[in-house]
Structure 1
Amino acid sequence: MIAEDLFERCTNIEIKLAYLEDFIKELQKAALEHEKKIDALSAENRALRRKLDEIAENGSAPMPHTRPPHY
C-alpha cells in the first residue's frame, strides 16, 4: 500500500515537472521574441532621433504646418 502511494506521488510529481518544463520553454520563447521586438524598436528609435537631429541642424526654415490629406 505504501509503495503504491509512493509510486503514485512520484508519477504526479513527474507529470507536474513535465508541465513546468514545457511552460518554461514557452516563457523563454516569449522572452526572446520580446527581446527581438525591443531591439528593433530601439534601433528604429535611434534612427528617428538621428533624423530629427539632422532636420534640426540642417533645416533653418521651420517645418511647414500643413493639414494632413485626411482633413
Structure 2
Amino acid sequence: MENNETVERCTHIEIKLAYLEDFIKGMQKVTLEHEKRLDALSAENKALRQKVAELAENQEGALPHIRPPHY
C-alpha cells in the first residue's frame, strides 16, 4: 500500500512539474517579446528626442508663449 501511495505522489509531482515547465516557457516567451518591444520603444524615444533637440536648435530665439487657436 505504501508503495502505491509513493507512486501516486510521484505522479502528481511530475504532473505539477510539467505544468510549471510549460508556464515558465510561456513566461520566457512573453518576457522576450516585452524586451523586443522595450528596445523598439527606446529607439523611437531616442529618435524623437533628437528630432526635438534639432528643432529647438533651429528655432530662432525662445519658443513663443502663444495660446493655441482653440482658446
TM-score by length of 2: 0.85
User: Where has structure 1 moved over 2 Å in runs of 4 or more?
Assistant: none
**Match runs of 1:1-71 below 5 Å:** 1-60=1-60, 62=63
The one-character-per-residue Cα deviations of 1:33-68 (angstroms, maximum 9, x if unpaired) are: 0000000000000000000000000121758x766x
Query: Structure 2: which amino acid aligns with 1:7?
Result: V
Aligned partner of residue 60 in structure 2, secondary structure: coil
| Identity in percent | 61
Query: Structure 2: which amino acid aligns with 1:24?
Result: I
| Uncovered stretches (5+) of structure 2, i.e. residues with no partner | none
Please tell me the root mean square deviation across aligned C-alpha atoms, in Å.
1.9
| Uncovered stretches (5+) of structure 1, i.e. residues with no partner | none
Query: Structure 1: which amino acid aligns with 2:17?
Result: L
CA distance in 1, matches of 2:39, 2:9: 45
CA distance in 2, matches of 1:15, 1:43: 43
